[in-house]
Structure 1
Amino acid sequence: MAERSLASDAGMAFGAAQWQGIAFMLAGTALFTCNDALGKWMVASLSVGQILFVRSVSALVILAPLVWRAGPREVFVVAQPGRHLLRALLIVAEVSCFYLAVRHLPLADVMAVYQATPLIVTVLAIPLLGERVGWRRALAVGIGFIGVMLVLQPAAGGVFSTAALIALAGSLCYALMMIATRRLRAFSALTLIVYHTLAVGLAGLLALPWGWQPLDLQSALLLALMGVVATGAHMCVNQALRLAPAATVVPYTYTSMIWAILLGWVFFADRPTLAMLAGAGIIVASGLFVLHRERQIKS
């Protein structure tokens, strides 16, 4: 997964730029989901630390020319270092939770839980950002969490599995990271992506002594491909947000569910259950309503 800025730019006429923004968001979402599927494939045989480190090195190779062109000082010298550090820690926690969860759960199930992130952000924005939430959005959030319960389906003992709890923790970290990103919206997208990549790579490096597995050429290339795909996804999403208002393009991130179900079915033989599909539908519908209400309030 990756950070996606939430902003509003109401009042722009819907034209060619908006259609291009939607196209870039659809492409970025597809790339992110393909990257997640690659991660699920690799985590079956490699440690999470290896995946984080190698994919980050690959991404940094691609980002290096962009950093050089922008100027290292402009990218790395930042105000509010404490907030950047907090965001980096949340990113590392979220990515680690995601890979640990997909090791044991179908990709679509984990992605469905992550679709609840806008709902979690709405709840956390009340104490952390001082935002007010009306009864309509509060009701939508409550319904959305019913969808999460349907997706994860507590086991017969009445408790969630460890993997399910890890997925929920990852979604919570992702929501907190998005709130932290809101606090850093004045910084360039390149700065945020570079610090994101460095944090994940450093965490992977520190974890390498535990669970290291020898890498053959195919595994190394696939891990490198993950870095390339993730960086391409970031660039597509950033371009989408430059071309069109976030309120226009962000709803299209929900197409990740379609990709997750398709990729899980084709590559991992994970057939979605009716409960999972129903829960995912409820989560997506609730999230779209929350985004719609936010757009109405800000317009």
Structure 2
Amino acid sequence: MTTTSTAGHGTGIALYLAGVALFAANDALGKWLVAEFSVAEVMLIRSLGAGLLLLGLGRAVGATLRVPAGQGRLHGLRILLLAGDSYCFYFSTKALPLADVMTFYMSAPLIITAASALLLKEKVGLKRWGAIVTGFIGVIVALQPTSAAFSLSALVALTGAACFALAMVITRRLSDCHWLTLVAWQFIGCGILGAVLSPVGWVTPNAFDFFLMALVGLVACGCFMLITKALALAPASLLAPFQYSAIFWASLFGWIVFADKPTPPIIFGNVIIIASGLFVLYRERTLKVAVNTRIEPIP
């Protein structure tokens, strides 16, 4: 691995970790909103909020909605998968505790790694697989899912996790497309789905609730910007284990904001998760295996 590639992977990991941290805040706020408003309504107004940020950034960096020739089908599939991911996540949080939904979404690193090996031909050794499985065990220990995790809503959550994972693999395939273009199209897709479905069960929000839904869009937009950029810099299978860091941030935010003290299982589970992530990072730094990447310079 060249010095440039090693540095790119390190930057990719840092960006991915930052994106996952923002997701923790976004998920909690989104669950609170769908308790009163329909999933489609939240998706629609969330997309409008993200659109304001994307419009300003697009003008600043000169990005457009134009996608490279021959990639239309992959872009279309990615948009559908991410729209499905958003809908499934918010829908499942209406019936399940957030901890249960997060448990299912933490299966995404396993799906990402498997799909990366099959579809992207990324080399994934037994030790990296072991770290990913160990991290998932840490998730189960920390979250202690309830019996509701075996319901129909749980199947919806698992479907959402699969959509998210496959979308991340496709994002890696599209790493030569501008990151802002990728993020913009996914919010356009979510906005269209929300607009089509939101008339059913529409509840007119007051100014504050409208602001919160738009804020969810801004935060989600920041999440996907960081993650999309990370996938342009580092292999999807390398980044996958760092998805587990979401549990650490969820525990920390719960302690600071809601005074929910971390229990011994949460602390122990987080230790396992952090250890698995550090092991992957250690392997990345010591093996220095060359990886063919197409890296777009960070503006």
Q: TM-score, normalised by structure 1?
A: 0.75
1:133 has 2:124 as partner: yes
Letter in 1 for 2:208: Q
Distance 1:174 1:261 in 2: 22
Please state if 1:62 is matched with 2:53. Answer: yes
CA drift of 1:105 comes to 3.4
Structure 1 CA distance, aligned partners of 2:4 and 2:203? 47
State the match for 1:37 in structure 2: 28
Alignment of 1:159-170 (within 5 A): 160-170=150-160
| Alignment check: 8 A CA contact 2:39 2:90 kept | yes
- Deviation of residue 189 (structure 1)? 0.5
Residue 10 (1) aligns with residue 24 (2): no
Structure with larger RCO (C-alpha < 8 A, sep 6+): 1
For residues 206 and 18 of structure 2, the distance between their equivalents in structure 1, rounded to whole angstroms, comes to: 30
Q: CA deviation at 1:245?
A: 6.7
Gap change, CA 1:255 and 1:282, over 3 Å in 2: closer
Q: How far is 1:225 from its partner?
A: 1.5
Q: How many residues end up aligned between the 2 structures?
A: 283
Distance in 1 (CA, whole Å) between partners of 2:261 and 2:153 is 18
In 1, Cα distance between the equivalents of 2:260 and 2:281? 30
Q: TM-score, normalised by structure 2?
A: 0.75
- State yes or no: 1:88 paired with 2:84: no
Checking the alignment, whether the CA contact within 8 Å between 1:112 and 1:257 is kept in structure 2 is: no
Out of 212, 217, 227, the position equivalent to 1:227 is: 217
Q: 1:55, 1:227 within 8 Å by CA — same for their partners in 2? A: yes
Q: What is the CA-CA distance between 1:90 and the residue it aligns to? A: 0.7
* RMSD, aligned α-carbons: 3.9
Closer/same/farther in 2, CA of residues 241 and 154 from structure 1, 3 Å limit: closer
Percent identity over the alignment is 42
| 1:290 Cα deviation after fit | 4.4
The 2-side partners of 1:154 and 1:235 are apart by 33
- Counterpart CA distance in 1 for 2:103 and 2:207 is 33
Gaps of 5+ in 2: 291-299
Q: For the residues of structure 1 that align with 2:89 and 2:8, how far apart are their CA atoms?
A: 38
Residues 121 and 176, structure 1, Cα contact 8 Å, conserved in 2: yes
In structure 2, relative to structure 1, the CA distance for the partners of 1:13 and 1:132 (3 Å cut) is: closer
Structure 1: state its 5+ residue gaps.
1-7
Residues 142-221 of structure 1 correspond to what in structure 2 (within 5 A)?
142-147=133-138, 150=141, 151=143, 153=145, 155=147, 160-221=150-211
Distance 1:291 1:13 in 2: 13
Is 2:66 the partner of 1:76?
yes
1:202-281 to structure 2, matched below 5 A, reads 202-235=192-225, 254-264=244-254, 278-279=268-269, 281=271
